[in-house]
Amino acid sequence: MPDWTGIRDRAAERWADGRARLPEDADQRRRQLTRTGNAAYAAGLAALMAGDDPSEWLARAADAYRESFADAPPDSWGRPIGVVKARLIAGDMDAAADDARWALEAGAEGAATPIGRYAAALALLVLGRDHEARRVADELRIHDGFPTDVGDALAYVAAGDLVGYIEAIESVLDSFERRDEYLEDVPVADTVLAIQALARARGLEVELKSELLPP
């Protein structure tokens, strides 16, 4: 078993070091904010896996990602995705709704890239706009280069289809279990956790067991 407390503490140290050295230059600051966001996200996931409250660290991650988006290059949709996922995993649905509206106002729904459309699908689901979310998710399902099972899971959540959702989310989990690399080297199936939060909000209860998920 990983030393989750140790992983959390090391990630927390990286976050503190990064926040203490935020540069004035906009481009360098954006990069540093992204690094501190990643460190806080890692600390939150590790805290969750250790059985502790991850909300403070995940909130720090979301705030850093959101701040870094202002000076990011066009189509930097990974940041809004990180923001919304952090809120969902923390269980802060009010903040998730605020960030979802922000992502849509930034143009996620009209994005030309699949990663932008993914941000839109998450945001629409957070806001309960399931009909629109299903349309976006259906586009992702057939988009070359985007994980089909993630698109499937989002579409089935939007449709309230438990049977389809079970197969899709198990496939997403399996893809994480077959990975060799994880964000910040923290072996957690964070996408599964975020989508599961959306599913539970619709009464789609699926019990999953994995070393990559909290016990």
- Residues 117-140, mean pLDDT to the nearest whole number: 97
- Residues 185-190, mean pLDDT to the nearest whole number: 97
- Residues 108-136, mean pLDDT to the nearest whole number: 97
Spatial distance between the Cα atoms of 128 and 100, rounded to a whole number of angstroms = 11
CATH number of 4-200: 1.25.40
Rounded to the nearest 5 percent, the helix, strand and coil shares of the chain are 70, 0, 30
Q: What pLDDT is attached to residue 75? A: 87
Amino acid making up residue 32: Q
Could you tell me the pLDDT band of residue 74, with boundaries at 50, 70 and 90?
confident
Q: What pLDDT is attached to residue 96? A: 98
DSSP, collapsed to helix, strand or coil, labels residue 55 as: helix
Q: What pLDDT is attached to residue 71? A: 85
pLDDT tens per residue across span 22-48: 999 999 999 999 999 999 999 999 999
Q: Looking at the predicted structure, is the pLDDT value of residue 63 above 90? A: yes
- Residues 172-181, mean pLDDT to the nearest whole number: 96
Residue from 129, 147, 148 nearest 201 by CA: 129
Spatial distance between the Cα atoms of 97 and 125, rounded to a whole number of angstroms = 9
Q: What pLDDT is attached to residue 97? A: 98
Q: How many residues does the chain have?
A: 215
Spatial distance between the Cα atoms of 153 and 165, rounded to a whole number of angstroms = 5
Could you tell me the pLDDT band of residue 144, with boundaries at 50, 70 and 90?
confident
Q: What pLDDT is attached to residue 1? A: 84
Spatial distance between the Cα atoms of 45 and 190, rounded to a whole number of angstroms = 8
pLDDT tens per residue across span 195-204: 999 999 999 9
Q: What pLDDT is attached to residue 153? A: 98
